[in-house]
Amino acid sequence: MFFHIVLERNMQLHPRHFGRTLRDSLVSKLMKDVEGTCSGRHGFVVAITGIESVGKGLIRDGTGFVTFPVKYQCVVFRPFKGEILEAVVTMVNKMGFFAEAGPVQIFVSNHLIPDDMEFQSGDMPNYTTSDSSVKIQKDSEVRLKIIGTRVDATEIFCIGTIKDDFLGVINDPTGA
């Protein structure tokens, strides 16, 4: 789920940032470039917690830019198969529903929704139990289990299920 790791990145800095604020400029550029991004290998970078070292700069020929190797600590979010997450439903259709747990989007197929829940179309599509006691619709909070992940270079996709004990709706936006 969340990990505190050390990563390295080469940062290019324009000569106008040289001077006594060089390190501050480097750190703010690093935060702007890295926080909120996703690398398939490490996961989503949530926050940079510290700078371990800034190496000696290397001047790029012809441009005047300088490349600095920066070693930094950061918190990353990486979902794993078998992990239980709480997520907010963003879209419901007859194929299943999509939910978001932080930066991760999770698809739950209608085959992975309990058999007693049926799809109801209309202006607010939802999955409802036969006695209408439980309803999954947009903005519902659900507890789900990740059963599969696919990692791309810049994105992580997940498949989830609510067809297990203690999984399902934990908060209904209608208050019913």
Residue in 146, 141, 157, 78 with CA at minimum distance from that of residue 112: 146
Measured CA to CA in angstroms, residue 143 lies from 127, 149, 161, 165 at distances of: 15, 17, 9, 10
CATH number of 2-77: 3.30.1490.120
User: What are the boundaries of each domain within the chain?
Assistant: 2-77, 83-171
Report the percent of the chain where pLDDT is more than 70. 98
Architecture of the CATH domain 83-171: Beta Barrel (2.40)
Q: What angle do CA 166, 168, 170 make, to 5 degrees?
A: 90
Phi, psi dihedral angles at 30 (to 5 degrees): -60, -45
Per-residue buried b or exposed e for 60-72, using 16+ beta carbons within 10 Å of the residue's own CB: eeeeeebebebeb
pTM: 0.82
Q: 44-68 pLDDT, tens per residue?
A: 999 999 999 999 999 999 888 999 9
